[in-house]
Amino acid sequence: MMTTATASRYTAEYRNIGPALPGKILPWLQQLRAEALVHFSAHGFPSPREEEWRYTNVSAIEKKLFAPVLGFVPHLQTVNAQWLKSYQLEDAWSVVLVDGHFSAEFSILDGLPETVSVMSMADALTKQPELLETFLGRAVNNTEHGFIAFNTAWFTDGLFVHVPARQVLEKPIQVLHVATQADVMSTTRSVIIADEMADVKVIETFAGLDNSYLSAAVIEAFVGANADMALYKMQCESEKAYHFGGTYVKQARDARFTHYNFAFGGLLARSDIHVDLDYASECELNGLYLGIKRQHIDNHTRINHLKPHASSREMYKGVLDDRARGVFQGRVIVAEDAQKTDSQMNNRNLLLSDDAEADTKPQLEIYADDVKCGHGVTVGQLDESSIFYLQSRCIDEETARNMLTFAFANEMVDKVRIKHLHDKVLEQVLMRFPQEGVKKSWL
């Protein structure tokens, strides 16, 4: 029973830590945290015996006891500013979280429209507690699994965004998570609210120095009626890091939501993206996971079609080399009431070595009778006829293979329409597959 043993170690420490966490004067939050702690103490982290965790064993996380960083005020002297800024986007507002704590020094928030709130979660708990009481914990429940309970109990900070009705934000908002210390955990909770007909783009970036650490970030996003939200996740954790990222989205009627999950880093990384769709809403989930060395990258998506006429499109691609393992579990659930649902889910995996592994499990659960739902899955190697085609166009075989591998991934990168982000994602892809074969200057 290692799980509960680990849980009780964490729980025992909580007595010292709890009072230092934000929002301690808010009874509703204290109650939410207390419930989470009870749930976590009883169940611990998820185990592979749970169907939705069957391909991912988190016992490596349990074996370590990551320490929370408390009362930390990150500043230029303690953080490698140049490195941090290499992840910061131009032409975007940003909230920078260093080891789970807001850094006013690095964040860029000037010029925001007055009606729009973008701030750290700790600030928001002081300034907007009523709004948070309505939304925090409403897109995902503590009982979802151990990481959620863990996150609710321990979160130290996060991002808060509120865009009022009809407000269109021209620039994206970036929340940049950076991990600078070894053996610590950074636990953040974020809430993004787009009211009716609002339009907002949020970019989550995760980066860390070459240490072992745990990054556990949960976002709850609420897309109002006929609103637009795009959420980008660029996960570039260190090679030794553990990452759990959960994105839980509730879409009101006619709302549009697009998610991009670029899962590149971490030794063990798991992303959950769950979306609830109301009447005639649309969602698009895009994913690209690149695994090298001994990385294990797990992506778990769930799309709940709760009401009629909604549509969902999902495309996840994985490139796995060396001894890496990639997981895709995609569930689409169509409720009895959700007639005229239009849903398409695809997962394609490219295996570059004999030791790489892809586990893919698309699931359709359909309780309505008038729907259009499809799914497709491939796990394979590069297409020989494409290689020959390129050879017949003067390109040698090795370059052709590299070019096709890059192209397979680049198809997802090219979907990013924010230029500065596109370039950063592209840079990360090229960095991970640096073989001669793709010349950046020709792209």
* Residues engaged in binding other proteins (CB under 8 A): 383-386, 388-397, 399-400, 403-404, 406-411, 414, 439, 442-443
Phi then psi for 124, rounded to 5 degrees? Answer: -65, -35
Q: Which of 247, 177, 240, 246 is nearest to 205 (CA)?
A: 177
Considering the complex, state which of residue 45 and residue 408 has its C-beta at the smaller distance from other proteins: 408
Q: Report d(CA 225, CA 36) in Å as an integer.
A: 30
Whose tokens are 């945290």? That residue is 33
- Please state the closest distance from residue 433 (CB atom) to other proteins, in A: 13
- Please state the closest distance from residue 276 (CB atom) to other proteins, in A: 31
- Please state the closest distance from residue 285 (CB atom) to other proteins, in A: 19
Considering the complex, state which of residue 130 and residue 384 has its C-beta at the smaller distance from other proteins: 384
Q: Report d(CA 339, CA 332) in Å as an integer.
A: 14
Considering the complex, state which of residue 1 and residue 394 has its C-beta at the smaller distance from other proteins: 394
- Please state the closest distance from residue 366 (CB atom) to other proteins, in A: 29
Contact 316, 287 (CB under 8 A): yes
Considering the complex, state which of residue 67 and residue 395 has its C-beta at the smaller distance from other proteins: 395
Q: Report d(CA 316, CA 298) in Å as an integer.
A: 11
DSSP three-state, residue 57: coil
For residues 288-327, b (16+ Cβ closer than 10 Å) or e, as one string? Answer: bbbbbeebbbbbbbbbbbbbbbbbbbbbbbbbbbebbbbb
Q: Report d(CA 111, CA 234) in Å as an integer.
A: 25
Number of residues that this document lists for the chain? 443
Whose tokens are 């017949």? That residue is 392
- Please state the closest distance from residue 344 (CB atom) to other proteins, in A: 17
Q: Report d(CA 343, CA 364) in Å as an integer.
A: 10
- Please state the closest distance from residue 298 (CB atom) to other proteins, in A: 24
Considering the complex, state which of residue 292 and residue 315 has its C-beta at the smaller distance from other proteins: 315
Q: Report d(CA 427, CA 421) in Å as an integer.
A: 10
Q: Report d(CA 114, CA 406) in Å as an integer.
A: 43
Phi then psi for 130, rounded to 5 degrees? Answer: -65, -45
- Please state the closest distance from residue 375 (CB atom) to other proteins, in A: 19
If you write DSSP's letter for every residue of 236-270 in order, what string do you get? E--TT-EEEEEEEEEE-TT-EEEEEEEE---SEEE
Considering the complex, state which of residue 108 and residue 413 has its C-beta at the smaller distance from other proteins: 413
Considering the complex, state which of residue 351 and residue 413 has its C-beta at the smaller distance from other proteins: 413
- Please state the closest distance from residue 416 (CB atom) to other proteins, in A: 13
- Please state the closest distance from residue 77 (CB atom) to other proteins, in A: 43
- Please state the closest distance from residue 382 (CB atom) to other proteins, in A: 11
Considering the complex, state which of residue 135 and residue 406 has its C-beta at the smaller distance from other proteins: 406
Considering the complex, state which of residue 367 and residue 389 has its C-beta at the smaller distance from other proteins: 389
Whose tokens are 């999902």? That residue is 314
Considering the complex, state which of residue 210 and residue 384 has its C-beta at the smaller distance from other proteins: 384
